[in-house]
């Protein structure tokens, strides 16, 4: 197994990191933002007393592989403790299972078809320059807004949204390593966790908290943690929490029966020198190592969450700080015989979401309500008493925070596109998914919105989504109903809530 040398071993890399951290101490001064969208309601006076702070923790590629979600072996005591102190959402879903579109949807409150962000190339500033992002809303309301680590896919996206935006040390270090000619591996033990980029990013956030506690200004602090995104590199101490034998096997390792051949893809994992030689079939020993590495990386992320929560308490900020923790999408670890996200499969769109809102959420509560990450923006706006833009496409979850077992959305919506080279002569297609409490339905449509193929999985009978039932006569009625919901879109489903 590869062993990672200390990340700051070279003078050039250490100098680069320290210089960037130093120049960022005062933060990147955000340029004046564009005029607020006309839909936006007036904000309260800056610095209004009694406003709750926000700690917003974004974790890349995090599945619900946490103890609080019932994972049999995950060592995640800090995220579990957060869940026990707040509300755990059991049915939370992203709009698209890839970093850029997923994060853009949450931060703008707008779905991929509205922003046009469906790939990793397009930043929010370019796609929807007039959108009032989540942090812009809080900044305009007098909050200090602070960003650390990976927030958007593009580090420099939406500068108007930040009072301080520190460099993402993951990108800094990787850039320097490329200059040094060092190839990154897919999975490795790190000798010293303190030199890992995620640790450096979190330490920068921790340095800011005492100043915020002293100032008394309301703040919105966003902390983006890269792991467990590839490469699966984490401290040896986190690897040592597990053995290969204690890591669960993948679900449905033989692949889905009856699914369109383009429904699932696997290319992300093959971009590393220690996996590329095996393409397209991962040998068992490497598969075991990758699954082990993923779970170790989850525990590493949990360690960092623990540091943030401990610092919040130490600074006396925990009683007036709303904490949101979410994963930006899932990831297949040999599940369905694939290694990636990039699909509408349940394992890719289903995420952990935990909210602790003092005075609103009750400790140790859970909700089976179907919620979407586009709902987080209006929820935080309402909790802070801010007037959110009226064009947001999510729905405030405050009623669910107050009554976790209440009736809510009938479905969540997600999507993913496939280019013409993958669809066997059908041209470019988009898979639009409807996820209800029982079914996951995906209609694959062409550029003319014509239905080309469909997928239907009965999660009650087949929770691993092993067999596509779209053409099964026994599911004809369910398929037709869900296709009608897909064609109707998310608006009617949102509007029916509360009726």
Work out the pLDDT band at 322, boundaries 50, 70, 90.
very high
Average pLDDT over residues 366-388: 98
Is the previous residue joined to 23 through a cis bond, with omega within 30 degrees of 0? no
pLDDT at residue 48 is higher than 70: no
105: CATH: 3.40.720.10
Q: How far is residue 165 from each of residues 46, 151, 173, 216, 443, measured CA to CA in Å? A: 20, 10, 17, 20, 40
Q: Are residues 254 and 383 in the same domain?
A: yes
Q: What's the pLDDT score for residue 477?
A: 99
In a domain, 483, yes or no: yes
pLDDT-derived band at 498 (thresholds 50, 70, 90) equals low
Residue range 298-307, pLDDT digits in tens? 999 999 999 9
* Residue-wise pLDDT tens digits, 238-296: 999 999 899 999 999 999 999 999 999 988 899 999 999 999 999 999 999 999 999 99
Judged by average pLDDT, the poorest of 3-7, 147-151, 236-240 is: 3-7
Please check whether residues 227 and 158 belong to one and the same domain: yes
pLDDT at 47 over 60: no
Cα–Cα distance list, 293 to 148, 185, 244, 285, 429 (Å): 24, 12, 9, 12, 34
- Shared domain for 435 and 359, answered yes or no, is no
Last residue of a domain, one of 383, 410, 437: 410
Same domain, 468 and 403: no
Local confidence band at 154 (pLDDT 50, 70, 90 cut-offs): confident
Residue 78: pLDDT band by 50, 70, 90 thresholds? very high
Same domain membership, residue 210 and residue 107: yes
List the one residue out of 119, 95, 97 whose CA is nearest residue 107.
95
Statement to judge: residues 286 and 255 lie in one domain: yes
E runs forming strands in 202-320 = 219-225, 232-235
In a domain? residue 102? yes
328 is a domain residue = yes
Contacts of 343 (CB under 8 A, 6+ apart): 97, 263, 264, 265, 332, 416, 431
Assign residue 417 the CATH number of its domain.
Answer: 3.30.1120
- Taking 80 as the threshold, does the pLDDT of residue 27 lie above it? no
Evaluate whether 263 touches 256 at the Cβ level (below 8 Å): yes
For residue 382, the surrounding DSSP H or E stretch is: helix 376-383
Same domain, 202 and 306: yes
Residue 43 lies in a domain: no
Measured between alpha carbons, how far is 145 from 284 in angstroms, rounded to an integer?
46
At a CB cut-off of 8 Å and minimum separation 6, what does 144 contact?
Answer: 163, 164, 212, 215, 217, 218, 219, 220
When pLDDT is cut at 50, 70 and 90, the band that residue 43 belongs to is very low
For residue 259, tell me if it sits in a domain: yes
pLDDT tens digits, one per residue of 355-376: 999 999 999 999 999 999 999 9
Phi, psi values for residue 338, rounded to 5°:
-130, 160
- Find the domain containing 188 and state its range: 3-29+48-410
**Beta carbons of 404 and 369 less than 8 angstroms apart:** yes
Question: For residue 139, what are its two tokens?
Answer: 């900044």
Instruction: Indicate the helix (H) or strand (E) that contains 455.
Output: strand 451-458
Q: Are 330 and 348 spatial neighbours (Cβ–Cβ below 8 Å)? A: yes
Residue 117's pLDDT is what?
A: 97
- Mean pLDDT, residues 457-484 taken together: 99
Among 410, 440, 468, the domain boundary falls at 410
* Tokens 């077992």 sit on residue: 405
**Active centre residues (catalytic):** 99, 153
- Neighbour tally for 483: CB within 10 Å: 18
- pLDDT of res. 244: 87
pLDDT at position 50, please? 80
pLDDT exceeds 90 at position 28: no
* Of 410, 444, 466, the domain-final residue: 410
What was the pLDDT predicted at 49?
Answer: 53
Mean pLDDT of 416-433: 95
Task: Say if 293 falls within a structural domain.
Answer: yes
Residues 420 and 397 in one domain: no
Please determine, for residue 445, whether its predicted confidence score (pLDDT) is greater than 50: yes
Confidence tier at 113 by pLDDT (50, 70, 90):
very high
Pick the range with the lowest mean pLDDT from 67-76, 168-177, 222-231: 168-177
Same domain, 218 and 249: yes
Q: Taking 90 as the threshold, does the pLDDT of residue 180 lie above it?
A: no
Looking at the fold, whether 259 and 248 belong to one and the same domain comes out as: yes
**pLDDT at residue 258, as a whole number:** 98
Residue 26 has pLDDT above 90, yes or no: no
pLDDT at 318 > cutoff 60:
yes
Q: What is the pLDDT of residue 29?
A: 37
What mean pLDDT is predicted for residues 164-178? 83
Same domain, 405 and 419: no
Q: Answer yes or no: is pLDDT of 36 > 70.
A: no
**pLDDT, tens only, 192-214:** 888 999 999 999 999 999 999 99
Higher pLDDT, residue 84 or 34? 84
Same domain, 137 and 285: yes
Query: Considering the chain, what is the average pLDDT of its residues?
Result: 90
pLDDT of residue 77: 99
Count: domains in the chain? 2
Confidence of residue 10 (pLDDT cuts 50, 70, 90): very low
């Amino acid at each position: 197994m590869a062993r990672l040398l200390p990340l700051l071993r070279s003078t050039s890399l250490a100098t680069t990191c320290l210089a960037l951290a130093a120049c960022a101490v005062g933060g990147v001064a955000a340029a004046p933002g564009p005029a607020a969208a006309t839909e936006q309601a007036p904000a309260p006076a800056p610095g209004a007393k009694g406003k709750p702070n926000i700690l917003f923790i974004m974790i890349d590629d995090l599945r619900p592989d946490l103890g609080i979600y019932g994972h049999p072996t995950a060592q995640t005591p800090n995220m579990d403790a957060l869940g026990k102190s707040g509300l755990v959402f059991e049915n939370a879903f992203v709009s698209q299972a890839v970093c850029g579109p997923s994060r853009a949807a949450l931060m703008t409150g707008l779905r991929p078809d509205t922003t046009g962000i469906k790939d990793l190339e397009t930043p929010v500033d370019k796609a929807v320059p007039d959108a009032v992002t989540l942090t812009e809303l809080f900044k305009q309301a007098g909050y200090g807004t602070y960003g650390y680590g990976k927030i958007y896919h593009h580090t420099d996206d939406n500068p108007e949204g930040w009072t301080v935006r520190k460099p993402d040390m993951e990108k800094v270090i990787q850039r320097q390593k490329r200059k040094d000619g060092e190839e990154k591996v897919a999975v490795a033990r790190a000798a010293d966790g303190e030199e890992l980029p995620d640790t450096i990013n979190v330490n920068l956030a921790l340095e800011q908290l005492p100043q915020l506690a002293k100032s008394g200004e309301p703040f919105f602090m966003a902390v983006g943690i890269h792991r467990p995104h590839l490469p699966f590199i984490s401290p040896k101490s986190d690897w040592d929490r597990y053995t290969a034998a204690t890591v669960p096997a993948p679900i449905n390792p033989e692949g889905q029966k009856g699914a369109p051949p383009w429904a699932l893809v696997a290319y992300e994992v093959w971009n590393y020198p220690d996996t590329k030689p095996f393409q397209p079939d991962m040998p068992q020993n490497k598969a075991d190592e990758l699954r082990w590495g993923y779970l170790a990386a989850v525990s590493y992320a949990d360690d960092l969450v623990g540091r943030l929560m401990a610092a919040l308490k130490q600074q006396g900020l925990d009683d007036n700080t709303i904490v949101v923790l979410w994963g930006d999408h899932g990831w297949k670890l040999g599940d369905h015989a694939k290694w990636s996200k990039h699909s509408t499969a349940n394992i890719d769109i289903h995420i952990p979401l935990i909210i602790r809102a003092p005075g609103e959420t009750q400790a140790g509560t859970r909700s089976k309500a179907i919620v979407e990450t586009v709902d987080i923006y209006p929820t935080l706006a309402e909790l802070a008493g801010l007037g959110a833009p009226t064009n947001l496409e999510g729905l405030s979850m405050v009623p669910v925070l107050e009554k976790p077992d209440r009736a809510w959305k009938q479905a969540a919506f997600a999507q993913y596109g496939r280019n013409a080279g993958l669809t066997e002569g059908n041209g470019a297609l988009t898979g639009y998914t409807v996820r209800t409490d029982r079914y996951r339905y995906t209609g694959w449509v062409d550029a003319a919105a014509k239905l080309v193929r469909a997928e239907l999985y009965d999660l009650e009978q087949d929770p691993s989504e092993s067999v596509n039932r779209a053409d099964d006569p026994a599911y004809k009625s369910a398929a037709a109903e869900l296709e009608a919901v897909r064609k109707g879109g998310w608006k009617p489903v949102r509007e029916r809530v509360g009726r």
